[in-house]
Structure 1
């Protein structure tokens, strides 16, 4: 138990208390706490037992000053606040990253960039030495956060693959191939007027999904059947579907570039009296919780969001250990999951 002062308040146990209890020097205790070698197994066992007995909790702030390490990794999400709450993929990426970091005794610090003010504040925060590395989600080409991280030389890994990150580590899926495959499956159901609600074209995932859609349709591609919307959101799916119906009432197939977008599109189709999949086939992308909440359940592309977070965290930890990240990044599989919406 930790020591108790005369006023009844518990006093924080110190390295000296651990050393006294274990019968070793304070220097030996410090070497064990800092993961340094040249300590016998017997001394380590005695120190571990002493730590448990006196209730010692390492002071992370003091250790950071000595080790020049905060034991914290930042997860930077460049999305509006509303989408951060709505998008289950972000939550899965966060939980996957946290699990990998927890195994390595690192703390995850979640940082949201919604506005230019947020970006400026984050750049100042990153320069303060409060985190050891970063995982970046939803970066755009030319993203100021990317530039700030590069200027600071922070160990970093991207979820996704913006084209301007050079040799930085990344973990991603093949958005283009996934979009191409599910659009091909949709066309094979006999649809002749297939449109797309194309979201987030300012980042690699959105532009690659549009490219895969174009690949799949080839000469049948009609640019008038593409409605561009800003975000992977339910409300953007609603707006995109209304615009497509107004422009092309005979549309009979829709590829929505995320499950949330597809959910919004399905509700608009239902309100317009269109039966899915009889009148219009709809497919999405992500295989998130949105897909199973839809009626009928959504055909979609599976995005392994949890593993994306884990792999990105491991890439940052590898850099902190002095290892080179995997050359060319890592691309995870994203198979089609076929359900009742098409």
Structure 2
């Protein structure tokens, strides 16, 4: 038997069922006043009965609003899947937008082609604003957003975004504090696997590490890696051990990097924390997967996402921002150090 495709219910169907004009139905759908409570109740009942679903695309042409906010993640595809912070930021943003009846549109910028495609997409009026994660200085996505005048909020603080709204933690201060805590355990040859130095978070964590060690800082004990990833942490730790086998403390600039570094230490026969103390950054699910569990900095990723989303919504409501929104990032001390 063939099944006929069910015809989509229209505003006309709702109006006939409710016994009102199509104009009255449109006023209710668009949240406009001057509709009696009896008429509004009849229209709501009719919508439920005929199964009417508003056409967002048509409505956006009239209202000049898509009711959608883009979340742009400028990271490789592999890291998007691996990094639990990105997932938490996304879910936090979605929760805040859902409360305001906005849709989250997730946009990933991995390759130059992705960036060009996104720049064209942003100019099409399909989203009302953007949340940008992992932007670098000179990022073409940032430039496109500025040129288009889109309401935007950054998670982090690239140095070239002017007075744009951004939500962040004190990466430098937190890195300084946890490194000092590691020094306090009696470690004397402390190195760092420093990731993502092309963005503010990575550069600030390295700066905090240098602050904490002061005159005792040895640049030969810093191994630079591209991304906040397990594989980069493991490879970077292997290179650092080859260069400085007497290292007895490690600050890894993310929990994923620390997990990779811990694996490299284990393969080299180094015990944690007996031979080498190690600390991470994020307090993500990586921290508790490790054996022993990681000492780390708690980064409230879900709050970063929800706060950034509310900052975009506030801009759509006419508010402006002239100061960063800083969230707390306390130390969480566990057995790895």
TM-score in same-fold range (> 0.5): yes
Shift of 1:10: 1.9
Q: Secondary structure at the match of 1:277?
A: coil
* RMSD between aligned residues: 1.2
Q: Does 1:332 align with 2:314?
A: no
**Residue 263 of structure 2: aligned partner:** 267
Pick one of 282, 301, 305 that aligns with 2:301.
305
Unaligned runs of 5+ in 2: none
For residues 203-259 of structure 1, give each alpha carbon's deviation from its aligned partner in whole angstroms, at most 9, with x where no partner exists.
000000011111111111111111111110111101111111111111000000000
Q: Aligned partners of 2:223, 2:238: CA distance in 1, in Å? A: 10
**Residue 187 of structure 1: aligned partner:** 183
Q: Does 1:125 align with 2:121?
A: yes
Q: Secondary structure at the match of 2:261?
A: helix
For residues 108-159 of structure 1, give each alpha carbon's deviation from its aligned partner in whole angstroms, at most 9, with x where no partner exists.
1111111111101110111111111111000001100000000011111111
**Residue 48 of structure 1: aligned partner:** 44
Q: Secondary structure at the match of 2:126?
A: coil
Q: Aligned partners of 1:176, 1:146: CA distance in 2, in Å? A: 23
**Residue 254 of structure 2: aligned partner:** 258
**Residue 341 of structure 1: aligned partner:** 336
Q: Aligned partners of 2:278, 2:95: CA distance in 1, in Å? A: 34
Taking the TM superposition and a 5 Å limit, the aligned residue runs for 1:1-342 are: 8-325=4-321, 327-342=322-337
Q: Secondary structure at the match of 1:85?
A: helix
Q: Secondary structure at the match of 2:223?
A: strand
Q: Secondary structure at the match of 1:328?
A: coil
Q: Secondary structure at the match of 1:139?
A: coil
Q: Aligned partners of 1:98, 1:284: CA distance in 2, in Å? A: 27
Structure 1's consecutive aligned runs of 4 or more residues displaced over 6 angstroms after TM superposition are: none
Q: Aligned partners of 1:339, 1:46: CA distance in 2, in Å? A: 60
Q: Aligned partners of 1:104, 1:111: CA distance in 2, in Å? A: 20
Q: Secondary structure at the match of 1:111?
A: strand
Shift of 1:51: 1.1
- TM-score, structure 2 length as denominator? 0.97
Q: Secondary structure at the match of 1:192?
A: coil
Unaligned runs of 5+ in 1: 1-6
Shift of 1:8: 4.3
For residues 265-302 of structure 1, give each alpha carbon's deviation from its aligned partner in whole angstroms, at most 9, with x where no partner exists.
00000011100001000000000110000010000000
Q: Aligned partners of 1:187, 1:40: CA distance in 2, in Å? A: 70
Q: Aligned partners of 2:320, 2:74: CA distance in 1, in Å? A: 26
Q: Secondary structure at the match of 1:166?
A: coil
Q: Secondary structure at the match of 2:167?
A: strand
Shift of 1:13: 1.4
When residues 104 and 115 of structure 1 are mapped into structure 2, their CA distance, relative to the original with a 3 A threshold, is same
Give the aligned length: 335
Q: Aligned partners of 1:234, 1:194: CA distance in 2, in Å? A: 20
Shift of 1:329: 2.3
Q: Aligned partners of 1:264, 1:42: CA distance in 2, in Å? A: 64
When residues 45 and 324 of structure 1 are mapped into structure 2, their CA distance, relative to the original with a 3 A threshold, is farther
- TM-score, structure 1 length as denominator? 0.96
Q: Secondary structure at the match of 1:275?
A: coil
